[in-house]
Chain A
Amino acid sequence: NAGVTQTPKFQVLKTGQSMTLQCAQDMNHEYMSWYRQDPGMGLRLIHYSVGAGITDQGEVPNGYNVSRSTTEDFPLRLLSAAPSQTSVYFCASSRGGRDGYTFGSGTRLTVV
Chain B
Amino acid sequence: SQELEQSPQSLIVQEGKNLTINCTSSKTLYGLYWYKQKYGEGLIFLMMLQKGGEEKSHEKITAKLDEKKQQSSLHITASQPSHAGIYLCGADRTPTYKYIFGTGTRLKVLA
Q: A40-B9, A42-B88, A98-B31 are in contact. Are A103 and B43 (CB under 8 A)?
A: yes
B86 → A minimal CB distance (Å): 9
Question: Is B103 in contact with A33, judged by CB distance below 8 angstroms?
Answer: no
A 77-112 to B, binary, CB cutoff 8 A, 1 in contact else 0: 000000000000010101000111111111000000
User: For residue A58, which residues in chain B have a CB less than 8 angstroms away from its CB?
Assistant: 98, 100
User: For residue B31, which residues in chain A have a CB less than 8 angstroms away from its CB?
Assistant: 98
A13-21, A43-51, A63-71: which lies at the B interface?
A: A43-51
**B residues whose Cβ falls under 8 Å from a Cβ of A:** 2, 4, 6, 9, 31, 33, 35, 41-46, 48, 50, 88, 90, 96-104
**A residues whose Cβ falls under 8 Å from a Cβ of B:** 4, 31, 33, 35, 40-45, 48, 50, 56, 58-59, 90, 92, 94, 98-106
Which 5 A-B residue pairings sit nearest by Cβ, starting from the closest?
A100-B45, A103-B42, A43-B101, A42-B103, A42-B104
